[in-house]
Amino acid sequence: MGKTIALFGTSADPPTIGHKKILEELSKIYPFTISYVSNNPKKNHKEDISIRSHLLRTLIEDLNNPKILFNQSVSSQWAVESIKKCKRIYEFNNLDFVIGSDLIKDIFQWKNFDRISHEVSFLIILREGYPVESNTLKMLQTYKVKFEISTIKIPNISSSKFRSNFNYSNLPTSLIDIVKKNNLYEPSKLVE
């Protein structure tokens, strides 16, 4: 197929209004966005992947947009595996791998990076406080990585900021009750 689809894997620990905005904006650009939760080997996750995937699925179901698909079966801690699974399931050869600007400098150390860079183009979502630095741009060009820096504007919130500030207004409305009822992401209490 000639069209390009977006592949948006995320730790979603938890999914925030930032994730919601990214998904909404991607649906305006791409015929389909496939999203899933993964375990990032460089992060310590607060909640188990089954909880995080339930939260992301709930968010996507609440968006009720046929152009945004949740498919946990493409999840892998390795991007190269998720890309391979997505191409096999959806029979799309043109994928844009969506990544935040906070992670773009790490891709050069990813497992099978050279294969990934031939398989996909990167859509870089700018996050406040994480500009794409000139040395990273030079590396992308040196390695002939296909990429575009998105103009999507997202709220200045991240999962880690939510966990440290614990402000429910940073969660999509559809997730607040689930997080509250299940005591998810409760700040740890100090024991003296």
Residue 183: what are its φ and ψ, rounded to 5°?
A: 50, 40
Q: What is the pLDDT of residues 24-47, one digit of tens each?
A: 999 999 999 999 999 988 888 999
Strands 33-37 and 4-10: parallel
- Strand (E) or helix (H) holding 116: helix 113-119
Q: What is the pLDDT of residues 158-187, one digit of tens each?
A: 999 999 888 899 999 999 999 999 999 987
pLDDT value, residue 192: 43
pLDDT value, residue 189: 42
**What domains, with CATH codes, occur in the chain?**
4-181 (3.40.50.620)
16 and 133 Cβ atoms separated by less than 8 Å: no
Q: What is the pLDDT of residues 59-94, one digit of tens each?
A: 999 999 999 999 999 999 999 999 999 999 999 889
Peptide bond into 172 cis (omega under 30): no
